[in-house]
Amino acid sequence: MKVSTKTQYGIRAVIELAQRYRNGPLQLRIIAERQGISFKYLEQLMSILKTSGLIKSIRGAKGGYVLARPPSQIKMDDVFHCLEGQVVTLECVENAGSCIRSADCVARGLWTEVEQAVDHVLDSMSLQDLVDKASVPGKQDYDI
């Protein structure tokens, strides 16, 4: 399983918004510069995130983007599934009929557990959890 650049960049962008949640709207060009993401590509990602209801745009000279809910109320699985879709390791996990060995395959059980584990991690973590990890010296487990 490989996470797409779209998901990597989108998650970095919403973390940026979460870190500045109480400071008002953040302009797209600032997010793009700070995160090293192409402005045009980030525009596309923000459109997807906005359509899903995770972020809102504010118009005007002091406008930009903000989270639609507090960071503690946005689970990482919401962001991940919006950008990447469902976690899928193998076709046979989602569709047993795709493989004649599905009924007796021990390996299929392994891949099912891998999917469930990834979903569990994403569901158990909020944007606020990542912001908190980033703000504690020596506790940062993730590249934000």
Task: Please report which residue ranges of the chain form alpha helices under DSSP H.
Answer: 5-19, 28-35, 39-51, 76-84, 91-94, 106-124, 127-135
Task: Say which CATH class 5-135 falls into.
Answer: mainly alpha
Q: ∠88-73-2 over CA atoms, to 5°? A: 20
**What pLDDT score was predicted for residue 113?**
93
- Give the pTM: 0.84
List the chain pLDDT tens, one digit each, 144 residues.
788 999 999 999 999 999 999 999 999 999 999 999 999 999 999 999 999 999 999 998 889 999 999 999 999 999 999 999 888 887 888 878 788 887 888 888 898 899 999 999 999 999 999 999 887 665 555 544
Q: How far is CA 28 from CA 22, 64, 74, 83, 101, in A?
A: 17, 6, 20, 18, 49
Distance between CA atoms of residues 119 and 136, nearest Å: 25
Question: Which three-class secondary structure state does DSSP give residue 66?
Answer: strand
